[in-house]
């Protein structure tokens, strides 16, 4: 049976030593979060994940969700009680506005709790996670009436939220969607259509389910400019806000999937269901993008979270498993065999994972801080530049953290040999669960296109210029440090490749957009390596300082420094291969006719 | 529902145009296999795979194997009939010796049929596949009496075979195994112990199951030098060769696994079961290695096979799925959207797979031909040099074809977007099934160690010298061809990296063996890229010739030439990253203490 321990000490090191948490004390919601309080919050949330959510991970996978003939869906045993504990702990509304019952704390803390929770039980975490995304969209775009009617119960977790985008014939291309909205004359709309792949679309954890549904108002323009966003609740709230009439929507079936079995993935049928417009008519995609960007960060965190949980178990197994002898002679001659940790190739697998996890942990915090700054910084310019960076990083985080996170679960499974393939050890579940994160909330190829086609050129490349400037300033600032040199060398080379790749797109993709499409995926991963490498530079600097300041932490800091060196030696060289692939362009791949495939 | 079409035309192109099949006509068993006959055999075998095995793949996964309270195991619906058709077609003994009822045909053909079969239904194919491995070990090492008693029924498929190596406390490190063998005085032994992960250990497809079991004879030396190999049949054959007494062995349980659900993975308990020594006492590992090498090639073929099946379905889906518009403007303006094949990033995923599959298909044939030559060539020197190459290539094939084959199933799944995650589409099953191939028959890290630690230095590096010589001769021979230049450039660079990496090991791993261990995995993949690149060089040359000779095949040949260019542009650049990682050595990773992980 797998285990999980929330990495609170690592988070605290990153917040305090790497990102200088106290300096954000002037932001709303940050004032009271002293280091002690943050640690207490993370410890408490971590405990819930370790003690309540994690034990339900394997059983939930095995049992799955069940749709009953009446269209209701039951979640696995123990999920109701766990959800009750989760929502009563106030974790769903941790960063939500206080005026609607939230705690108004930093989004950064909510992101950390979500990471722990997704490590412990990814399928479970999707229920509150989608609710948080729905809250974000409603906060940003809905009318005051809708906010008052829906936010308090979503924030308290009495109700949960969903996102309804996909239809059988359209996933990525939302312009094709057919779900219709007919004005009813009283301000509401009658929504009709079928949505698929609706996570948490129906379940037994909450009293009500608030569906956010993309639909086309009668007479609206074709394509993406005719799409509106609606709130369509399972039960229509009455004047007191309690559940009133059952709305005419239902779960038609649930999917049998590779993983996340404990989350119900529903086909949702809307049959003149009563719905309420969020924001402006035909501007639904804008509103949905708020939800999707929040959700994309959440999915990025899932990638890291599964990688972290898989790592912890693989490292523990490697320490305990005796098999073979070290290449340099027995290390534990008194035992029948050495621990498999003596084998360099086992260390390779573990350090591939570990060296990614620590930097990705930092990158999530760095980005989440920018999300906080983008909304809460007193200075408009600072809000803007943080919003720039967050927009730029969102596809990179989503694409890279889920791709590499998945690969890492596969590596962790490999450490277990044959046992990794057997369900009871839990390692194969990490692989199956992590796999979806590469697909949903925009498949990773779409993230790459978003990065190259939209985020990169936006505002004359302002965000990218700022990112490159920040990394180069860091390199310059620390150029004199001999200790940091091994961390900066690879980073420098990586930034160089990233800059040249960006230049290559400018020179070759304007006239031939396929050159951008052909290189977008490699560019996203090249970008990811540089961003992670930059995090390693900052972690290494902080770890060196910490080591001097507090000798008791020397071993913990040395472990970080070793993992960082490993990343620089073994991961950063991949930037060159990405750049080479980008430069090969689109000509060869586009010369295949459809029939040749 | 996924589909599958055996790639007979590709196989025929490789056999005839790339590998000059007729030149092997002098070998025993090859004489009658003219091109027409080979094609007829492959077509017939392919049809069985397409029509009988493939339709049982998804249903078999869903239903799985069931162990009944009496210890018997049932296979999924339809498997019995399919197995009957398979064995009656003579496919199990296709390459087995004629004196025991086999057809004595080239192993190369058997490898192709196994590839088709593993594409259609991997879990099914393991039943006859393990039988073929057992046949190989018995042919090579058993006494005439044992051969006469067991080979005819294994070759006809009336009985099936298994390999019993792993025990709960030992997988890779067979020196730790505890299963005991006590001489009974009549030449037989009483075998006692527990084996785990025994594929096809118990089932309802055959009348008898012949277990090949590693055990330690009482008083044998400790470690790997005290291990012997035994035949331990489920039913003891009587004097007429029919099933006699039930032996005292049983299936204690079956495993719940990530995939290959239709193959029973058993815990086998031996309780003074009657067994018969194969070959010499305490030399069991030698005999088992014959079986394992055969099985390793079979597993390599599984990696390619799953990648091929996944590709076929992803390409068909991409052609049909309409979503979005080409970056260069609508390609099918009359339709609501373009096919997703217009998107470079979709082509990237498909060509990543395709450009691997075609070269891997060639590499399997090239290696299988060497397996045939190693046993059948009239000249001892030729037998030796083929055996050298086969030994060298076995870990590369096993490690690289299963690693990349798995990655390719993940990519093919990605092409389907959300549908790829849903069981009914069949794509996630390819991922789950392909995953085991990286683990069993020696986890891929062990393959890498076998390559670097044993195969590379063996006989003063004779095999490696021969391989490098062959590739360099090919490059030199074709240096004047401008058409081939794009294929040779990348190969040349790759060979250079491989040579330098080999040199690096010679200079850095003698004194510090951990440097070899730390770089072994990257070396295996670097080697794989060069071997696949070499295959592309040969395919490209043959395709150019074929295109001139038969203009009707121009499109088919152009498709190969494009896929080959793609491989050179986008895969070969990875050799540099592998070399960089190798050069980073072991120091950093070995500096982590066990507690730091």
Cβ–Cβ contacts within 10 Å for residue A356, how many? Answer: 28
Report CB contact under 8 Å: B413, A435: yes
pLDDT surpasses 90 at B290: no
Nearest chain A CA: its distance from B346 CA (Å): 8
pLDDT at site A564 = 98
- Model confidence at B239, pLDDT cuts 50, 70, 90, reads confident
Phi, psi of B155 (to 5 degrees): -65, -35
Q: Is the pLDDT of residue B424 over 90?
A: yes
More confident residue, B240 or B488: B488
**How much is the pLDDT for B170?**
86
Residues B139 and A291: beta-carbon distance below 8 Å: no
Contacts of B590 in chain A (CB under 8 A): 344, 347
**What does the alpha-carbon distance between residue B492 and residue A1 come to, in Å, rounded to a whole number?**
49
Q: What CA–CA distance (Å, rounded) separates B487 from B483?
A: 8
Q: Which residues in chain A are closer than 8 Å to B514, comparing Cβ atoms?
A: 327-328, 344
| Alpha carbon distance B343, B133 (integer Å) | 44
Q: Does A428 touch chain B (CB under 8 A)?
A: yes
- In this complex, the residue of B341, B417, B428 whose CB is nearest that of residue A443 is B417
- Kindly report the nearest CA distance between residue B300 and chain A, in angstroms: 17
- Whether A26 and chain B come into contact, CB under 8 Å, resolves to no
Q: What is the rounded (10 degree) CA torsion for A48, A50, A52, A54?
A: 140
pLDDT reported for residue B339: 95
Q: Which two tokens stand for residue B328?
A: 């260069």
Q: Quick check: B520 contacting A, CB < 8 Å?
A: yes
| One pLDDT digit (tens) per residue for chain A, 597 residues | 899 999 999 999 999 999 999 999 999 999 889 999 999 999 999 999 999 999 999 999 999 999 999 999 999 999 999 999 999 999 999 999 999 999 999 999 999 999 999 999 999 999 999 999 999 999 999 999 999 999 999 999 999 999 999 999 888 888 899 999 999 999 999 999 999 999 999 999 999 999 999 999 999 999 999 999 999 999 999 988 899 999 999 999 999 999 999 999 999 999 999 999 999 999 998 888 877 888 899 999 999 999 999 999 999 999 999 999 999 999 999 999 999 999 999 999 999 999 999 999 999 999 999 999 999 999 999 999 999 999 999 999 999 999 999 999 999 999 999 999 999 999 999 999 999 999 999 999 999 999 999 999 999 999 999 999 999 999 999 999 999 999 999 999 999 999 999 999 999 998 899 999 999 999 999 999 999 999 999 999 999 999 999 999 999 999 999 999 999 999 999 999 999 999 999 999 999 999 999
Q: Which alpha helices (DSSP H) does B142-170 contain, by range?
A: 144-156
Domain boundaries, chain B: 55-89+121-282, 443-589
How many angstroms away from the CA of A581 is the closest CA of chain B?
Answer: 5
Residue B60 pLDDT greater than 80, yes or no: yes
Segment B382-385 long-range contacts (CB within 8 Å, at least 24 positions apart): B385/B466
Angstrom distances, CA of residue B39 to CA of B20, B36, B268, B545? 14, 5, 41, 21
Q: Does A573 touch chain B (CB under 8 A)?
A: yes
ipTM confidence score: 0.97
User: How many angstroms separate the most distant Cα atoms in chain A?
Assistant: 83
pLDDT of residue B81 exceeding 80, the answer is yes
Q: Name the residues of B annotated as catalytic.
A: 441
**Amino acid B225: pLDDT:** 93
Domain spanning A55-89+121-282: CATH 2.40.110.20: yes
Query: What pLDDT does A404 receive?
Result: 98
> What pLDDT is stored for residue B294 in this prediction?
80
- Enter the pTM of the model: 0.98
**N residues, chain A:** 597
Find chain A residues with C-beta within 8 A of B166's C-beta: 418
Q: Residue A510: what pLDDT?
A: 87
**B189-199/B265-278 β-pairing:** antiparallel
A589 touches chain B (CB under 8 A): yes
Task: Report pLDDT digits (tens) over B140-159.
Answer: 999 999 999 999 999 999 99
CA angle, residues B261, B263, B265, in degrees to nearest 5: 95
Whether the CB-CB separation of A230 and A192 falls below 8 Å is answered with no
Query: A128 near A86, Cβ under 8 Å?
Result: yes
What average pLDDT is seen over chain B?
96
A196 contacts B418? CB cut-off 8 A: yes
Mutate to test the interface with B, among A253, A261, A324, A520 (most CBs of B within 10 A): A324
Strand ranges in A201-279 using DSSP code E only, listed in sequence order = 208-217, 228-233, 235-237, 243-246, 249-254, 265-278
Confirm or reject contact between A174 and chain B (CB < 8 A).
no
pLDDT of residue A286: 86
Rounded CA separation A251/A568 (Å) = 49
Query: Measured between beta carbons, which residues in chain B are less than 8 angstroms from residue A593?
Result: 555
Radius of gyration from C-alpha coordinates of chain A: 24
Q: Which of B322, B341, B513 has its CB closest to that of A594? A: B341
**Which of residues 432 through 451 in chain B touch A, CB cutoff 8 A?**
432, 435-436, 438-440, 443-445, 448-449
Q: Would the CB atoms of B590 and A344 count as touching at under 8 Å? A: yes
Chain B residues lying within 8 Å of A258, measured CB to CB:
421-423, 428, 431-432
What single string gives the DSSP state of each residue in A33-54? --HHHHHHHHHHHHHHIIIIIT
């Amino acid at each position: 049976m797998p285990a999980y321990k929330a990495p609170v000490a690592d988070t605290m090191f990153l917040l305090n030593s790497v990102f200088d948490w106290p300096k954000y004390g002037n932001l709303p919601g940050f004032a009271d979060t002293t280091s002690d309080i943050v640690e207490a919050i993370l410890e408490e949330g971590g405990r819930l994940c370790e003690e309540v959510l994690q034990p339900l991970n394997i059983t939930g996978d095995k049992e799955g969700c069940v749709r009953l003939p009446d269209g209701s869906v039951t979640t696995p045993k123990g999920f109701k009680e766990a959800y009750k504990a989760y929502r009563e702990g106030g974790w769903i509304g941790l960063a939500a506005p206080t005026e609607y019952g939230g705690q108004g704390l930093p989004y950064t803390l909510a992101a950390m709790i979500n990471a722990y929770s997704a490590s412990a039980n990814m399928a479970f975490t999707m229920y509150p996670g989608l609710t948080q995304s729905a809250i974000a969209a409603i906060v940003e775009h809905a009318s005051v009436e809708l906010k008052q009617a829906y936010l308090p119960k979503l924030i308290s977790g009495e109700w949960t939220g969903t996102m309804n985008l996909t239809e059988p014939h359209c996933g990525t291309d939302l312009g094709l969607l057919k779900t219709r909205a007919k004005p009813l004359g009283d301000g509401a709309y009658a929504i009709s259509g079928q949505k698929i792949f609706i996570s948490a679309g129906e379940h037994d954890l909450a009293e009500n389910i608030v569906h956010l549904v993309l639909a086309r108002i009668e007479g609206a323009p074709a394509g993406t400019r005719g799409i509106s966003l609606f709130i369509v609740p399972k039960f229509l709230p009455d004047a007191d806000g309690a559940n009133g009439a059952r709305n005419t929507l239902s779960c038609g079936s649930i999917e049998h999937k590779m993983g996340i079995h404990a989350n119900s993935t529903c086909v949702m049928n809307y049959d003149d269901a009563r719905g309420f417009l969020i924001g402006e008519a035909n501007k639904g995609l804008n509103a949905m993008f708020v939800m999707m960007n929040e959700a994309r960060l959440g999915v990025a965190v899932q990638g890291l979270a599964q990688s972290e949980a898989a790592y912890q178990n693989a490292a523990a197994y490697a320490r305990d498993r005796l098999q073979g002898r070290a290449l340099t002679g027995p290390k534990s001659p008194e035992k029948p065999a050495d621990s498999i940790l003596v084998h360099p190739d086992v260390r390779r697998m573990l350090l591939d994972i570990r060296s990614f996890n620590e930097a990705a942990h930092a990158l999530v915090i760095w980005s989440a801080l920018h999300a906080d700054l983008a909304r809460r910084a007193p200075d408009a310019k600072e809000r803007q530049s943080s919003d720039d960076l967050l927009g730029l990083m969102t596809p990179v985080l989503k694409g890279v953290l889920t791709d590499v996170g998945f690969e890492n679960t596969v590596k962790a499974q490999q450490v277990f040999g044959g046992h990794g393939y057997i369900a009871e050890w839990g390692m194969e579940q990490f692989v199956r669960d992590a796999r979806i994160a590469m697909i949903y909330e925009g498949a990773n190829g779409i993230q790459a296109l978003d990065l190259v086609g939209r985020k990169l050129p936006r505002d004359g490349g302002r965000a990218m210029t700022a990112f490159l400037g920040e990394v180069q300033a860091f390199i310059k600032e620390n150029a004199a440090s001999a200790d940091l040199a091994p961390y900066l060398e690879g980073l420098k080379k990586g930034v160089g490749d990233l800059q040249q790749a960006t230049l290559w797109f400018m020179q070759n993709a304007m006239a031939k957009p396929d050159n951008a499409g052909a290189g977008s995926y490699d560019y996203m991963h090249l970008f990811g390596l540089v961003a992670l490498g930059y995090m390693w530079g900052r972690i290494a600097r902080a770890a060196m300082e910490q080591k001097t300041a507090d000798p008791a932490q020397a071993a913990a800091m040395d472990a970080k420094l070793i993992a960082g060196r490993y990343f620089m030696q073994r991961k950063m060289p991949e930037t060159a291969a990405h750049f080479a692939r980008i430069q090969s362009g689109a000509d060869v791949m586009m010369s295949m006719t459809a029939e040749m495939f």
